[in-house]
Amino acid sequence: MVIAPSDSLANISEAVMQIAVTRLTQLGLEVVIAPHARELDGFDSSSVEARVADMHAAFMDQSIQGIFTAFGGYNANQLLPYLDWNLIAQNPKIFIGFSDTTVLQNAIYAKTGLVTYSGPSFARFGQELHFEYTLEHFKKCVCTDGSFHITPSTSWSDDWWASDQTSRVLEPSTGWVTINEGTARGIVLGGNLSTFNLLQGTPYFPNITNTVLFLEDDSESTLAHFDRDLESLSQTPAFVTVQAIVVGRFQKGSRVNIDQLEQILTQKQVLKNIPIIANVDFGHTDPICTFPIGGEVAIQATPSHISIEVITH
């Protein structure tokens, strides 16, 4: 089922929606649109009551095996006080999206212990071209059993594909970057950093003890914003136990380069002794991998070799 816990599905063009439906149908899935997903208010969203109702219905319906969020936005955290966490815990489902969906994924883990998936939203499945990497990693993580390695993409883009599907601009990937060497293993939490930080001080902030944090942000996050948000997270009591950090590729609008990012990360004393990998394929550029929020990963990072393995039991 497709739900819109942040921005309304009405913001997606019919052409993009049809490509997404076709692609998911080819995976053997039947696409069902939640009753309130297309409602639209003055904030590109819909009422809290409508969004909560759709989320509850999606988890409660025994015919629904997976829940895709439409895309991101700014207000999914409005739902948190009104969600029935027992209902969600008793009806585990595949739940996937990214960006603003970060608050729901990490809150679900905090309140229920269920694993969710940071990966392509319903709208991302509407990309007509250059979707192969994203689709491959989605299937590896969600549709198959067994552990797997996330692999670097060979090219990437930061174009607004939804407005022009045929004039895509690809750039060669410079690959992942080791900021700090080391090995680590732990439960994955995080996602969009500025969104993840909205959970601090609330009952929905997960325990980050001994975790591996996957962190990224969009074009609205400059280097100063990212530094400030990471500093805030690093001052939470359990951060000293974090095992590793994986940073997603920045959008061009952020104007963040690897040298600047390395300077920010290596200046923080709390990060000195943990492996850090940057420029990884997740976040707001394309393509993106899928990884489990609440799942386990193993990290190896040297200047010449980087490995990210998603471990299933």
The catalytic residue positions are: 99, 216, 284
Q: What residues form DSSP beta bridges with 188?
A: 212
Backbone angles phi, psi at 106, to 5 degrees: -75, -30
Neighbours of 233 (CB within 10 A): 19
How large is the C-alpha radius of gyration of the chain? 18
Which tokens go with 170? 């690809």
Which of these, 259, 192, 204, 203, lies nearest to 230 by C-alpha position?
Answer: 192
Q: What is the DSSP string of 189-254?
A: EEEEHHHHGGGTTSTT----TTEEEEEE--TT--HHHHHHHHHHHHTSGGGGG--EEEEEPPPGGG
Question: What three-state secondary structure class fits 106?
Answer: helix
β-pairing verdict for 211-216 and 182-192: parallel
Are 244 and 278 in contact by the 8 Å Cβ rule? The answer is: no
State how far the Cα of 148 lies from the Cα of 312, in Å rounded to an integer: 8
State how far the Cα of 133 lies from the Cα of 27, in Å rounded to an integer: 15
Question: What three-state secondary structure class fits 32?
Answer: coil
Which of these, 184, 180, 182, lies nearest to 266 by C-alpha position?
Answer: 180
Which of these, 28, 17, 278, lies nearest to 126 by C-alpha position?
Answer: 17
